[in-house]
Structure 1
Amino acid sequence: MDAAGELQDVAAGLSGLSFGSGLTGEEEKLRPLRARAAGLTFCGLAHALYLCKLAHSLRYLALGASSIGPAQPGGDALCVGILGLGRTGKQLLLSLLDMTAIKASHIKVSTRRPQNAVEFLQNRVECFFDNGRLAAWADLLFLCCLPSHLPKVCADLHSRLSKHCLVYSFISAVPVARLTKLLRHDFIIKPQYDIVGGATADVWLSCTDLSMALREPLLIEASCPLTMSGGITLNLNWVCTVLYSLLNICTSASLPSSEALSLMNSLFMGKRTHTVQLNAQSFISSFHASSLGGDEPFPWISLTDAQSKETPLLRFLSSNKSMQQRISEAYKSLLETPVSSDSYTLL
């Protein structure tokens, strides 16, 4: 047993050594704030990992099925860029290395202080300070910088971003519409978390060690996007946007719509062919779906619109509890699945 484990055993049953034992009445009122702050950090990382695992698997499958083949320098591997190596960027990088099958050689970081990232060089993660270079290379780019740095960062990025690079923003207080204008790019996901007043947040108090917390089924359950608990919610638009981003990955690989739908259903349905399936009308209007041939790719979907407007997918998921349940099951299964470097199937 390590030192931390020994300390936990020694402290077991001793209430005077537990968190909150020395808090005053006024300080005790801040306990839910501490818990929710930990919960927001956990959920942000868990949802980013979920997207990475989905995109990594689907891109491999989509490009393997495409007759045209990949145009990106990483071949069929997902290239993940992290812009900023502060607290959020570092936690995300550690989680990607520890909990996904994405190789370190397919992760790069741009940071103003690359000399402080020596610990990651041993894992073959390349660290430098060139935001434009990172944007030109990445298939999936995480923005982990401060809001005050955003104008300079966007100026570095907007002329270097490929249309097919998915940008995921951790930057608080900057809505997706603003990011779209600054980056001149519409393939962006910006999760919008809300706090539910009066709901208990104590479930998040155990998130002191994120590497351990991200393996805890109870916390994975609490962070499930469609059934979140612990005083934090994430609207259904985020789930729709993730699905639309996967559809765009298929489109960028020139995958026919029939094959794209088959892959999407395999991700969330597994072999349950008797259940409700995603079809063209799930994603686009009936008018456009009727004119879409099975050998044609889906049209490119603006994720900015997907996060701000009522979409066919939002209407479909809102009225289909069975599909919501399958997506929730896939989320929990995917996060709890042990890492396998040669595994690309999800269920």
Structure 2
Amino acid sequence: MADVVSGLDSFSSDPGLTEDEKNTLFVLRARSAGLTFCGCAHAVYLCNLVHSLRCFIKSHTANRDSIASEENGQLCVGILGMGHMGKQLLLSLLEMTLIKPSHIKVSTRRPESAMDFVQMGVECFFDNRKLAAWADVLFLCCLPSHLCEVCCELHSHLSKHCLVYSFISAVPVTRLTTLLRHNFILKPQYSFVACDTADLWLSCTHLTTALTHPLLIEASCPLTMSGGISLGMNWVCAVLYTLLNICTSACLGSSDALFLINSLFKEKWTHDMDLNAQHLIRASYACSLLKEEPFPWISLTDAQTKETPLQRFLSSNKSMQQCISAAYKSLLEKPLKLHN
């Protein structure tokens, strides 16, 4: 496996540096490795949740929909950009999720640079429109300088139900919403805090091995992150609203949607801690929502930039936070069978 900071010349050592400069370089190198690790860990977590939910939905609706096929439960993941982050993300998805290589596609300006992945069954090409029209989850790993061009290609080809997950630095979710004319966008907003343990990320030499390390999994847990990097509760809320929107797009009634989402976490919380409609949407709307009526579509842009019922609920419920954290760690620590 490749070093997560290999090829990044700005992080190579220079014997001519002063001690202060070496210390600064050390911190930057740790932050770079930490961001790569956390970005991939959180993407793996999201994809495993979404994949599991889609399988639950397929099983739940199989009796009423006799034409449902095995393919309907498969998650189609697209990666736009095969630079440093794109390659590390692809490795993580291939080795740490149950998504088949045939259900991952990559669009890159240099498809020939991804031949190793092609041999594993991943289709690589350079056609951003084709990728957007196909994907259920689309990861943006391109350069900020390419963003406007990329968004012009994508916006008319994205379905409403395609989740766009952005790793593009320095571009807020509100800007992406405007450029893509799309509000089903998840953008992790990482920030840095001073600490004495940032060097723990330097043990992430081989990313997919690091993703199985309990100490690193603990440090990357979204609600309790350590190592000088933080994420915040908005991302967790947006992930849960993502699951809700997937149920809505499948035309599931609110009762079924809540049952399936709670089922994803059933090992980590008890019945009296289940999410209910009032935790997710306005109380006045929740009271009038019929069991067979789907939840309203939730704008993830609003979920990440405004206070929501879910954010208020989670902020005041430490037990639920602990259960979500336990579910995160359990999902990443549980070894998954690799693809043949």
TM (norm. structure 1) is 0.88
Distance in structure 2 (CA, Å) of the matches to 1:178 and 1:68: 39
Q: Does 1:63 align with 2:61?
A: no
Note if contact 1:74-1:106 (Cα within 8 Å) is conserved in structure 2.
no
Q: Does 1:38 align with 2:33?
A: yes
Q: What's the counterpart of residue 246 of structure 1?
A: 243
Partner in structure 1 of residue 10 of structure 2: none
Q: CA deviation at 1:27?
A: 3.5
**Structure 1: gaps of 5 or more residues:** 1-18, 343-347
Match of 1:47 among 38, 42, 45: 42
1:112 equivalent to 2:106? Answer no
Q: Distance in 2 between matches of 1:70 and 1:279?
A: 31
One-letter code of the match for 2:207? L
Deviates more, 1:258-267 or 1:144-153: 258-267
* Structure 2 residue 91 is the aligned partner of structure 1 residue 94: yes
In the TM superposition, residue 274 of structure 1 has moved relative to its aligned partner by 4.3
SS at match of 1:326: helix
Pairing of 1:214-253 with structure 2 (within 5 A)? 214-253=211-250
- Show the counterpart of 1:121: 118
Q: 1:268 to 1:141 in 2, by over 3 A?
A: same
The one-letter amino acid paired with 1:235 is G
Aligned residue number for residue 339 of structure 1? 336
CA distance, structure 2, for counterparts of residue 71 and residue 297 of structure 1? 20
Secondary structure in structure 1 of the residue aligned to 2:291? coil
Partner of 1:85: 82
Q: Which runs of 5+ in 2 are unaligned?
A: 1-12
Q: Does the CA contact (< 8 Å) of 2:96 and 2:338 recur in 1?
A: no
Quote the residue 1:187 is aligned against: 184
CA deviations 1:135-176 (Å, max 9, x no partner) are 010000000000011111101100000000000000000000
2:20 aligns to what SS in structure 1? helix
Is 1:29–2:23 an aligned residue pair? yes
- Given that 2:95 and 2:338 are in contact with CA atoms closer than 8 Å, whether structure 1 keeps it comes out as no
Mapped to 2, the partners of 1:73 and 1:172 lie a distance apart of: 37
How far apart in 2 are the matches of 1:70 and 1:39? 45
The answer on 1:264 being equivalent to 2:258 is no
Which of 253, 260, 270 lines up with 1:273 in the alignment? 270
Deviation at residue 40 of structure 1 after TM alignment? 1.0
Contact 1:269 1:326 (C-alpha < 8 Å) held by counterparts: no
Aligned partner letter, 1:29: N
Aligned AA (1:134): L
Query: SS state of the match for residue 238, structure 1?
Result: helix
Deviates more, 1:170-179 or 1:69-78: 69-78
TM-score by length of 2: 0.90
Q: Identity of aligned pairs, percent?
A: 68
Distance 1:204 1:159, change over 3 A: same
Q: Does the Cα contact within 8 Å between 1:68 and 1:253 map onto a contact in 2?
A: no
**What is the root-mean-square deviation in Å for CA atoms of aligned residues?**
2.2
> How many angstroms does 1:273 deviate by?
3.4
- The residue number in structure 1 matching 2:289 is 292
1:324 aligns with 2:313: no
Distance in 2 (CA, whole Å) between partners of 1:325 and 1:129 is 43
Aligned length: 324
Q: 1:30-50 deviations in whole A, cap 9, x for unaligned?
A: 222221221111101100111
Amino acid paired to 1:50? Y
- Shift in alpha-carbon separation, 1:336–1:21, aligned structure 2, 3 A: farther
Q: Which residue number corresponds to residue 10 of structure 1?
A: none
Contact 2:268 2:326 in 1 (8 A): no
Kept in 1: contact 2:104–2:123 (CA 8 A): yes
Q: Alignment partner of 1:255: what SS? A: coil
Q: Which moved more, 1:238-247 or 1:63-72?
A: 63-72
Instruction: Tell me how far 1:73 sits from its aligned partner.
Output: 11
Q: Which residue of 2 aligns with 1:6?
A: none
SS in 1 for 2:239: helix
**C-alpha distance in 2 between matches for 1:133 and 1:90:** 20
How big is the shift at 1:71?
A: 9.3
Change (3 A) 1:235 1:24: same
Check the 8 A contact 2:268/2:323 in 1, yes or no.
Answer: no
Q: What's the CA shift for 1:201?
A: 0.7
Partner SS, residue 208 of structure 2: helix
Is the CA contact (8 Å cut-off) linking 1:63 and 1:70 kept in structure 2? no
1:340 shift after superposition: 3.8
Partner of 2:302: 305
Q: How many angstroms does 1:121 deviate by? A: 1.3
